[in-house]
Amino acid sequence: MKSLFSPTCRFLRPEIRLLILLLWSLCPAFDLEAAPAAPDRDKPAAASRIVVDQLGNEVELPAEVNRVVIASAWPLASVFCLFEGSVEKLVGLDPAIISAAENSLLIKVAPEIVHVPSGFSKNGILNVEELLKLKPDVVLYASAVPGDYEACKRAGIPAVGFRLDVKGFNAVETINSWMELLGRVMGTNIEARDFVAYGREMQAKVEERLKGVPQDKKPRCMFIHGYEALAIRVPGASSWADYWINASGGINVAAEAGKGTQGVNMEQIYAWNPEKIFITNFLPLLPDDLYENKVTGHDWAPVEAVKQKAVRKLPLGMYRWYVTCSDSALMLLWMAKENHPELFEDIDMNRTVKDFYKRFYGLSLSDEEAASVFRPKREAAAGI
């Protein structure tokens, strides 16, 4: 803007000049002589971006995400470490994630994971005050825990939700979708074609070998996901257990109990009389506890799976294999071999595990380390 005393301004009407002088006197810090600075077009704008999560929420994230908290999306830590290659950007992890990591192969890939702060969460409940101290750019949570989203929303923290039930709890396809969303959250192009192809190849192999298995040759199976004094929690329809059992050529006897995980008594289990029982990694129960009737008040001796010594604790690799995780393709193959050993007798699971971790994590396992995946410790249970 030209000076008020420049030749051009001399031709302004006196009252206009007086008004301009008055305004200028009230704003002495405003330099009327200075021309507005031209924008620096070479300097990138620190703009935010919008990511749509798997619950349909539009989440505003910073251009760069460098501080990540994983809350209830527990299995996501194994995927994060697979593609980030470190825990450098993880500033907070739910305690259940660290409990699993300490007793899994993830500790070999990212030993520093046990030092990531976890005090912001207790018994699955977020402490917003502690969470804010971590200054997260984003919190990653599971769709089954809407309380995480609500807590973050109140605190003004961006929260991205990951669905647990993609394609009917198809764990292999769910993990593929998680990778794609994680890539968008981190603003990186996750190259996962080989990994995705491996999972789908495993699905096709299992499906092909099980083709034509008659209904009466499919074993009656049951998962145990929780164990309280008055009720045993078993996953029914619309659950990971239902997917694993059906996809591996079995029949989920608990499907008739309803959707999700249901509490049942021993009388109901006697009526179902499962031929195979699978115990998840979220409780400390082990097969020997059933074989030796160590659980007070419950007599497992009459159950067919116990009679046949066909109770299995689910494996623990990079994470607990019951839920979606980076090991889901291995879980599918293992389940199929458990339910139909005669159709998969050529499959050496120890060798398959060793090849998988070498290929995708660059981790070389000894025979004993590979075998330990199928012998998880009692201490690996969530919350212990």
Domains of the chain, start order: 1-37 (no CATH), 49-191 (3.40.50.1980), 206-338 (3.40.50.1980)
d(CA 106, CA 82): 9
d(CA 36, CA 281): 64
d(CA 34, CA 10): 19
d(CA 142, CA 74): 8
Does residue 335 sit in helix, strand or coil? helix
pLDDT band at residue 66 using 50, 70 and 90 as cut-offs: very high
pLDDT tens-digit readout, 176-202: 999 899 989 998 866 678 888 999 999
Residue 249 has which token pair?
């050529």
SS3 track for 106-169: HHHHCHHHHHCCCCCEECCEECHHHHHHCCCCEEEEECCCHHHHHHHHHHCCCEEEECCCCCCC
Question: What is the reported pTM?
Answer: 0.82
Report the range of poorest mean pLDDT among 24-38, 169-183, 280-294, 322-336: 24-38
pLDDT tens-digit readout, 92-148: 999 989 888 888 899 998 999 999 999 999 988 999 999 999 999 999 999 989 999
Closest CA to 182 of 91, 65, 48, 318: 65
Hunting for tokens 């990531």 — which residue is that?
A: 116
Q: In percent, how much of the chain has pLDDT > 70?
A: 86
Ranges of beta strands (E only) in the chain are 49-52, 58-61, 68-70, 90-93, 121-122, 125-126, 138-142, 159-162, 220-224, 226-227, 232-235, 251-252, 261-264, 276-279, 311-313
